[in-house]
Structure 1
């Protein structure tokens, strides 16, 4: 046989051997253990690959890697969470206590103190409290002072309070003055809350007899020096719409009171304190006080207790 005749036969034999070798390699090829990240697909000549002769059913695409290959950098599979795991991760929370309709109460004797005035020993008090739920409450307030055994100032206020936000409450009610002068009744409307964390604010407007009006602004703040030692600055401003000489109040800005008290909480419900209080009268109120021989600008040392339950 001449060389020209041998060449086609040899070429056919070589192709048959190559096809048989490709089929055997495909059967033994473990694709699960192949490192496809290191294969250079760009250098492979896909046009010369005879895919028609490859036995794809025999290729080990679904085989698990061998124990030898599995031990090289493989991780155990993450188990599916069970119902018990879900219950532990997301427990049933109790219903929020807000708006449950429960009745609670609170009483605060913010100040029960002795004040060292220039011409008298003064016992002063400031108390407040409430009873009700989270949205609707009945509030009361009382403050006043006694000097040398005589009541100089005394008032009681009662309000219906309605929460309008987590930190603000609208109040409406009455105020009854017992001293100074003859008793007087006021209609009252106001708001109270905390515009800043810990800053307790009260703004109350009053409408009294014969068209008299008044506005009171109050604020106090607790500064924690330690867990038990607390410094409390406070301020109160009173304004009136008309002169009332019988009660010693003039129109406009009548008086201000500034205080600074340092208390030690033996327990949270009981705390003795010391401090200083400064009172000042203005305008016609100062004129009325001067006629009565009273001081218009006075600083007092104070000592007392604060308790709540």
Structure 2
């Protein structure tokens, strides 16, 4: 769970995932969402259910479904992706999505952990998304839609539990940026964040 306060309204978000299975075959679930701190329901939520097949010692191929809820109509997607540990120990999660209307999009997430002490860890993070189609009803234009870069410093009270602080920078591009501007929304935002990272 993470809370952010910056140039726009303060927000909360979550990003969680888990798996069940053996070395070669796993069931993965992933969920994330975001909303305004002033209360009410989340502005957007996403849930994925995926089959994961190990294709190398460090990577798994994933296929399944994704379901989004948002202020517009809910949407379902087919998912095809790869998740694992890239060279130089970068964690990567990349996927193509095909919506029920045939719209194609891509998202990549990359993280790296730098151990400063036995308990203090610095984590840079990069996420970007792109669309092959114009989908103005969901605020998306063709091309690169947005990037999000973050830097978080966490203190591992236990390996399984760590509070953190950091900064997050978001930027829209191209037609996606124009759509947001016409709607009177921010096209970039820098937020200071505080949160908790936990795993079991």
TM-score w.r.t. length of structure 2: 0.96
Does the 8 Å contact 2:2/2:14 carry over to 1? yes
Q: What is the DSSP-based 3-state SS (H/G/I as helix, E as strand, rest coil) of the residue aligned with 2:158?
A: coil
Per-residue CA deviation, residues 232-263 of structure 1 (Å, 9 max, x unaligned), is 00011100111111111111100110000000
Give the secondary-structure state (helix, strand or coil) at the position aligned to 1:294.
Answer: coil
Match of residue 125 from structure 1: 14
Q: Which has the greater radius of gyration?
A: 1
Cα deviation 1:63-116 (Å, max 9, x = unaligned): xxxxxxxxxxxxxxxxxxxxxxxxxxxxxxxxxxxxxxxxxxxxxxxxx11100
CA shift at 1:166, angstroms? 1.0
Partner of 2:107: 216
SS in 2 for 1:194: strand
Structure 1: give runs of 5+ residues left out of the alignment: 1-111
What is the aligned partner in structure 2 of residue 25 from structure 1? none
CA drift of 1:135 comes to: 0.8
TM-score, with normalisation over the residues of structure 1? 0.63
What SS does structure 1 have at the residue aligned with 2:178?
A: helix
Q: Which residue matches 2:196?
A: 305
1:236 matched residue in structure 2: 127
Matches of 1:118 and 1:259, distance apart in 2? 15
Match of 1:171 among 58, 62, 69: 62
Separation in 2, partners of 1:244, 1:144: 20
CA contact (8 A) 1:180 1:247 kept: no
The corresponding residue for 2:26 is 137
* Aligned counterpart in structure 2 of residue 251 of structure 1, from 118, 138, 142: 142
- 8 Å Cα contact 1:154-1:180 kept in structure 2: no
Q: How does 1:4-43 map to 2 (within 5 A)?
A: none
1:152 equivalent to 2:39? Answer no
**In 2, Cα distance between equivalents of 1:252 and 1:216:** 12
Structure number with the bigger relative contact order (C-alpha 8 A, sep ≥ 6) is: 2
- Distance (whole Å) between structure 1 residues aligned to residue 199 and residue 71 of structure 2: 28
**1:180 Cα deviation (Å)?**
4.4
2:2 corresponds in structure 1 to 113
**What is the root-mean-square deviation of aligned Cα atoms in Å?**
1.1
Provide the C-alpha distance between the structure 1 equivalents of 2:67 and 2:46, rounded to a whole number of angstroms.
6
CA distance in 2, matches of 1:211, 1:274: 39
- The offset of 1:210, in angstroms, is 2.0
* Larger relative helix fraction: 1
> Does the residue aligned with 1:128 lie in a helix, a strand or coil?
strand
Residues 1:292 and 2:183 aligned together: yes
Aligned equivalent of 1:205? 96
Give the Cα separation in 1 of the matches to 2:190 and 2:119: 27
Contact 2:8-2:189 at 8 Å conserved across structures: no
- Assess if the C-alpha contact under 8 Å between 2:16 and 2:31 holds in 1: yes
Task: State the partner residue of 2:154.
Answer: 263
